[in-house]
Amino acid sequence: MELTGAKIVIQTLLDLGVSTVFGYPGGAVLFIYDEIYKEKKLTHILTRHEQGALHAADGYARVSGEVGVAIVTSGPGATNAVTGLATAYMDSIPMVCITGQVPVPLIGNDAFQEADIVGITRSCTKHNYLVRDVKDLARVLREAFHIAKTGRPGPVLVDIPKDVTTQITEYVNRSEEVKIRSYRPNLKGHAGQIKRAVTLLKNAQRPMIYTGGGVVLSNASDELFHFTEQMNAPITNTLMGLGAFPASDGRFVGMLGMHGTYEANMAVSHCDLLIAIGARFDDRVTGKLSEFAPHAKILHIDVDPTSISKNVHVDIPIVGDVKLVLEQINKQIESKSFQKSKPDMTPWWQLVEEWRSKDSLAYTQGESAIEAQYVIQKLCELTKGNAIVATDVGQHQMWAAQFYDFDRPRRWVTSGGLGTMGFGLPAAMGAQIAKPDDTVVVISGDGSIQMNIQELATCLQYKLPVITIILNNGFLGMVRQWQEFFYERRYAETDMSHQPDFVKLAEAYGALGLRAKKPNEVEPAIKEALASGRTAIIDIHIRPEGNVYPMVPAGAALNDMILL
């Protein structure tokens, strides 16, 4: 059938199985929005800022595992989307962002609301397209989805000039057919490398499993659990990997890295085999590279060849989809001969338990000032560890990572790579739309929440019962912590104590506003918000100069930790 470009956009999305898009209209996308208006099968969520639309699509993708879709207009709409794209790119989140563009004849003429968004986003998207001919439109959109979700996932941008949305061409549904001759990700692990890996696994006396967001992205939690069971090795997760392995399992030693547990960092520093799975040796994980896992051979499984030996030399690389490679490895290590020839893990576990007994996350909740850790622990207890938790960036993010125990993947929504403040609330909206029956909580700070607080209106419009907990210390807490430790307490521009009354602000939006200033007010406030079924903000005044411990200073070795 013959359709306009605008109709092709919507029809292709529907044929690809998209049911929800997040966006913000504008001049260049008017024809697309006209089709959205007419199409009842596609739900559009109107955010209050384009950045919010991108983060919402991102949150939607993280919890559902599907490709998140955002639509924004040209120029400022597109540039507002950049932070959302960069956030998704750093965390490998499958997303497609459709941007309007000025009509083809005006491109390059500095037209009203023109921005070279393909040029701008080249380095923060997995790929991007400018569609100059309506005949390419459906194919490009299909390719965009294919690229976004296969291999190492990532955001793809499709820039569509306004005149292309009015032109007419023949449309045929070909959702399954995507062939890009220059793009064929390697998914299955090389058999020879698997064999070499199994030999290493068999001989390791002090194996340590280190897993990242790749396990979540490839839906490999079951395979990882089985692998860890067979290996009977301690396992640590990166910030992005939390939930991929149950925190309640005894083999889990917590997060590693800058704010990782003592036992996780010590185990990495002392292991003789580091098994890195879907992780990329980020500087926040490794600390000083020359002293990272100094006694270990390194086995690295990752779908992206560029992640291998980028920061740390890898002894046995296996390029492939984490799920498939773990299946391949699991088949071999299940055998009796493997299990029989494996060294006894008892001495290694004794060491790990010794480190664990240091209880590096310990804190004391006194009578007067509220400790942030206590709030997260209460939240975890009251939600039975079952909430979807989104965060912004800073101290509250690290406390949430340390104290909320995730037993399942895709419940933890945080900007790990880019570290985007203002991510939490919009991402939580996307998560709530993907999982309408689940409890969704944002853990934020008084700094971060103000970066996208306008999205409260979106929550109210769509009746999303997202609960935002503001850990309010009147500071940009993480920067203040660094200033305290490394800049002789010169608190340059980190005092945020001039702030709105968050309770009244919540009420102004039509949300429930609650406050806790004393430890005994925390639990009732969280309970009330959970019971209300409404969009809620809980303003919790925590000890102003509380710090995140343990801490590995930037550039120091992992075993060189500041403990409380």
Does residue 504 interact with other proteins by CB under 8 A?
no
Q: How far is the CB of 114 from other proteins (least distance, A)?
A: 17
- At closest approach, how far in Å is the CB of 306 from other proteins? 4
Q: Exactly one of 7, 162, 342, 378 is catalytic; name it.
A: 162
Look up residue 112 and give its DSSP letter.
T
DSSP code of residue 248: T
d(Cα 15, Cα 94) in Å, to the nearest integer? 18
CB of 146 to other proteins, least distance (A): 10
Q: Which residues pair with 538 in a beta bridge?
A: 469, 514
* 297-326: contacts with other proteins (CB under 8 A): 304-306, 308-310, 313
Could you give the CA distance from residue 416 to residue 91 in angstroms, rounded to a whole number? 7
**Is residue 274 within the footprint of other proteins (CB under 8 A)?**
no
Query: Do 299 and 318 form a contact (C-beta atoms < 8 A)?
Result: yes
Please identify which of the residues 38, 112, 170, 331 carries the catalytic annotation: 112
Residue in 478, 483, 502, 551 annotated catalytic = 478
119 touches other proteins by CB under 8 A: yes
User: Coil, strand or helix: which one is 542?
Assistant: strand
Using CB under 8 A, which of 135, 169, 183, 247 touches other proteins?
A: 183
- Work out how close the CB of 182 gets to other proteins at its nearest, in angstroms, rounded to a whole number: 5
Cα–Cα distance for residue pair 254/232, rounded to 1 Å: 16
DSSP string, 298-353: EEEEES-GGGTTSSS--SEEEES-HHHHHHHHHHHHTSHHHHHHSPP-HHHHHHHH
Count of residues in the chain: 564
Least distance from other proteins to the Cβ atom of residue 127, Å: 4
Give the per-residue contact string, 99-118, with other proteins (x = CB under 8 A; - = no): -------------------x
112 is annotated as an active-site residue: yes
162 is catalytic: yes
Q: How far is the CB of 292 from other proteins (least distance, A)?
A: 16
CB atoms closer than 10 angstroms to residue 219: 15
Q: How many CA atoms lie within 13 A of 185 on its CB side?
A: 18
* 157: contact with other proteins by CB under 8 A: no
Q: Give me the 56-95 binding string for other proteins, x by CB under 8 A, dash otherwise.
A: ----------------------------------------
Provide the minimum distance between the beta carbon of 317 and other proteins in the complex, in angstroms, as a whole number: 11
* Candidate ranges 59-67, 124-132, 433-441, 445-453; the one touching other proteins (CB under 8 A): 124-132
| Residue (of 59, 15, 14, 12) closest to 458 by Cα position | 59
**Binding-site size, other proteins (CB under 8 A):** 19
Phi-psi region of 313 (alpha: psi -120 to 50; beta: other; left: phi over 0): beta
Residue 452, token pair as written in the block: 């996208």
Residue closer to other proteins (CB basis): 295 or 310: 310
User: Residue 164 and residue 556: Cα distance in Å, rounded?
Assistant: 54
Report the nearest approach of other proteins to the CB of residue 313 (Å): 8
Max Cα–Cα distance, the chain, nearest Å: 72
Q: Give the start-end residues of each E strand in 78-119.
A: 95-101
| Region 391-450 residues binding other proteins, contact defined as CB under 8 A | none
Measured distance between the N- and C-terminal CA atoms of the chain, rounded to whole angstroms: 68
Q: Which of 22, 31, 50, 475 is catalytic?
A: 50
Residue pair 446/472 in contact (Cβ under 8 Å)? The answer is yes
Using CB under 8 A, pick the residue from 104, 107, 127, 343 that binds other proteins: 127
The question of whether 50 is a catalytic residue gets the answer: yes
Q: Residue 362, interface with other proteins (CB under 8 A)?
A: no
Work out whether 122 is an interface residue with other proteins (CB under 8 A).
yes
**β-pair partners for 155:** 95
Residue 115, number of CB atoms within 10 A of its CB = 20
Does 126 bind other proteins (CB under 8 A)? Our answer is: yes
Site membership for other proteins, residue 564 (CB under 8 A): no
Among 85, 147, 428, 538, binds other proteins (CB under 8 A): 147
Q: Is 290 in the site for other proteins (CB under 8 A)?
A: no
**List of residues contacting other proteins (CB under 8 A):** 118-119, 122-123, 126-127, 130, 147, 180-183, 304-306, 308-310, 313
Active site residues: 50, 112-113, 162, 478
